[in-house]
């Protein structure tokens, strides 16, 4: 059994998990390299790795790490942190990354809703295309309301399950 230095972790098992979970993320629509980097961060004990550590673990170039981290940071799935006294950055995944990623989609939904409202007004609510856009708009408005309630229920459930400081 291959193990990481200083830990009881099976490096081969970690690698299998990273590639397997990344494949699931790719199947759901995420680009391959950000999916691999995210899975590696998620599976690290500290929840953070440097660019060099990610490159070594995943056998990818610094440019590939940089591009993946840029995407993940824009989608609020990871954050960048400076190592104290160093110019080196660490990339961190937080316990609440899924919550943050979904919560930040709210702004996207609002922009889509505004565009759809303009489309309905421009095409005419009585036209087939206008009705289709109006139904799409109603779906996004419904999802936005449901998502807000769902996120609140998750906050309560998370605190009850993992304690009030979970993810901090």
Asked if residues 30 and 39 have their Cβ atoms less than 8 Å apart, the reply is no
Q: Tell whether 167 is covered by a domain.
A: no
Asked if pLDDT for residue 127 goes beyond 80, the answer is yes
Give the model confidence (pLDDT) of 4-24 as tens digits: 444 678 989 999 999 999 999
Residues 58 and 75 in one domain: yes
State mean pLDDT over 37-63.
95
Instruction: Give the residue, 151 or 18, on which the prediction is more confident.
Output: 18
**Domain range holding 57?**
11-93
Are the C-beta atoms of residues 47 and 93 closer than 8 Å to each other?
Answer: yes
120 and 78 assigned to the same domain? no
Q: Which of 72, 93, 114 is the last residue of a domain?
A: 93
Q: Are residues 19 and 84 in the same domain?
A: yes
- CB atoms closer than 10 angstroms to residue 158: 16
Mean pLDDT score of the chain, rounded to an integer?
89
Most confident among 99-103, 110-114, 163-167 (mean pLDDT): 110-114
Partners of residue 89 on adjacent β-strands:
82
Q: How many domains does the structure of the chain reveal?
A: 2
Residue 20 lies in a domain: yes
Strands (DSSP E) found in 51-93 = 79-82, 89-92
Say which CATH number the domain at 62 has: 1.10.10.10
- Residue 1 counted as domain residue: no
Same domain, 104 and 59: no
What integer pLDDT is reported at residue 115 of this predicted model? 96
> For residues 19 and 37, what is the distance between their CA atoms, to the nearest angstrom?
10
> Are residues 50 and 20 located together in one domain of the fold?
yes
Question: Where does a domain end: 76, 93, 110?
Answer: 93
Do 48 and 81 touch, CB atoms closer than 8 A? yes
What pTM value is reported for the model? Answer: 0.72
Q: Sheet containing 79-82: give its strands across.
A: 48-50, 89-92, 79-82
- My answer on whether 19 and 75 are in the same domain is yes
Angle, CA of 55, 56 and 60, to the nearest 5°? 40
Domain closes at, from 93, 126, 154: 93
Same domain (yes/no): 17, 80: yes
65 and 107, same structural domain?
Answer: no
């Amino acid at each position: 059994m291959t193990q990481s230095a200083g830990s009881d972790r099976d490096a081969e098992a970690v690698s299998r998990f990273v590639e397997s979970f990344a494949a699931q993320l790719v199947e759901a629509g995420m680009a391959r390299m950000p999916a691999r980097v995210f899975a590696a961060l998620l599976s690290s004990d500290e929840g953070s790795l440097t660019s060099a550590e990610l490159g070594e673990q995943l056998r990818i170039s610094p440019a590939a790490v940089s591009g993946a981290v840029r995407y993940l940071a824009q989608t609020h799935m990871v954050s960048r942190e400076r190592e104290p006294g160093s110019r080196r950055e660490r990339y961190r995944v937080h316990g609440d990354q899924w919550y943050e990623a979904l919560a930040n989609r709210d702004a996207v939904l609002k922009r889509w809703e505004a565009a759809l409202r303009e489309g309905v007004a421009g095409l005419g609510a009585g036209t087939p295309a206008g009705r289709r856009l109006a139904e799409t708009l109603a779906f996004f408005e419904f999802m936005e309301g449901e998502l807000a309630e769902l996120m609140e229920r998750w906050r309560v459930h998370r605190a009850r399950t993992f304690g009030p400081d979970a993810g901090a």
